[in-house]
Amino acid sequence: MKAIVYTKYGSPDVLELKDIEKPVPQDDEVLVKIHAASLNAYDWHMLTADIFLVRFAAGLMKPNNTLLGADIAGVVEAVGSKVTQFKPGDEVFGEARHGCGGFAEYVCARENALVLKPVNCSFEQAAAVPMAAFTALQGLRDNGQIKAGQKVLINGAGGGVGTFAVQLAKYFGAEVTAVCGTGNLDTARASGADHVIDYTTQDFTKSGRQYDLIFAANGYHWIFDYKRCLSDRGIYVTAGGTLSQLVQALLLVPRISSSDGRKLGALSAKLNLEDLRFMKDLVETGKVKPVIDRSYPLAATAQALRYLGKGHAKGKVIITMQ
C-alpha cells in the first residue's frame, strides 16, 4: 500500500510517498481502508519537532514511528478476532492506532477508537472531526466548565479547533466572541459567533471587556493579559499556540491560577469514545458542521502540511485517497 513516510524531523520536504506493507489488525483492532484523513497541529509538531518536548515522547534523534495522521474516515476491510462492534463494509471514523498512520491507504485502529460514520456527511467531513472536536469539547466543557448565558471568547476561532469551539460554545448556550485574522472573519460568523474581532486591527486584551471563559485554540498573548480579561471566577484554557504559550502554561499557570478566584489551565485532549459518539450525534443532527478549507490527494500531503504550517487555514485541511 502507499503511505506518507518520514524518517527524520524537519520541514514537509522530508516526507516521502512510499509503498509499505499493509498492516494486519490485532485481536481488538479494525483494518480500515481510508477514504479521507485530516491534518492537525499535532501532525505538524510530530513532523518538525518544533516543540522540543516532542522528541522525548516520539524519539530523541529521529521519530520512532515513521507515519503521521491521527484522524481517519473509511470503510472496514477486516476485523480482529475479539472485535464485536464492526464488520467488513461498515463506514467508520475516529482515530488511527497510537494516533498515527492515517496518511496511507490502510490503517489499523482500536475498536474503541471508532464509531459509525454519520449518515449525512461525507468521509471528508467525518475525518475532520475527531482530534479538533475533542480539543474544543473537552476544553470548553471539562476544563472551562461552560454554562448557558456565559460570555465566552474563542481565540483562534477560524482554524480547525476554533471552528468547532465556536459551534460548541453556541450549542452550550454561550454568547460567543470569536478572535481571528481578517481572512477568517466570515468563517467565524458562519460558525455562529455573536461577535468577531480581527486581531490584526484590534487587541481584545486592551478593550476592557471581560469574559467568563476564554478558550485559546491559538494565540500569542502574555498569560497575564488573558487573566486581565477574565471576569470574577472566570476561566482561561489554552489548547494551542506558540512555544512561548506552552512554556507559560507549564511554568506560570500553576502559580497564578488560584490567586484571586480566576482559573487558568492548559488542556491535553484525549481520545474518548463517549465524546466521539457525542460529536457524531451533533454532526448527524446538524447542530455542528465540520468546516473544511481545502483537500489534497495523498501524494500532496507535504503541500497540505506546508499550508497548515502557515497558520491561516479556515477550518480543517483534508487528505483524500484517489
Q: Where are the domains of the chain?
A: 2-129+290-320, 131-266
Per-residue confidence (pLDDT) for residue 141, from 0 to 100? 96
Per-residue confidence (pLDDT) for residue 260, from 0 to 100? 65
What are the residue ranges of helices labelled H in the chain? 41-48, 53-58, 123-127, 130-137, 160-171, 185-190, 223-228, 243-251, 253-256, 273-284, 301-309
Give the homologous superfamily in CATH for domain 131-266: NAD(P)-binding Rossmann-like Domain (3.40.50.720)
End-to-end CA distance of the chain: 13
- What's the distance, CA 89 to chain centroid? 27
pTM attached to this predicted model: 0.93
Kindly state the DSSP code that residue 104 receives in the 8-state scheme.
B
Per-residue confidence (pLDDT) for residue 247, from 0 to 100? 62
- What DSSP assignment string belongs to 44-91? HHHHH--STHHHHHH-SSS-SS-B---EEEEEEEEE-TT--S--TT-E
Cα(10)–Cα(320) distance, rounded to whole angstroms? 23
Per-residue confidence in pLDDT tens, the chain, 322 aa:
999 999 999 999 999 999 999 999 999 999 999 999 999 999 999 999 877 767 777 777 898 899 999 999 999 999 999 999 999 999 999 999 988 999 999 999 999 999 999 999 999 999 999 999 999 999 999 999 999 999 999 999 999 999 999 999 999 999 999 999 999 999 999 999 999 999 999 999 999 999 999 999 987 788 888 989 999 989 999 886 666 666 666 555 555 555 666 777 766 778 899 999 999 999 999 999 999 999 999 999 999 999 999 988 999 999 999 7
Nearest to 149 by CA among 127, 173, 128: 173
Of the candidate CATH numbers 3.20.20.70, 3.90.1260.10, 3.90.180.10, 2.40.50.100, the domain formed by 2-129+290-320 belongs to: 3.90.180.10
Per-residue confidence (pLDDT) for residue 318, from 0 to 100? 98
Per-residue confidence (pLDDT) for residue 261, from 0 to 100? 66
- What's the distance, CA 31 to chain centroid? 23
Answer whether 160's CB lies under 8 Å from 168's CB.
Answer: no
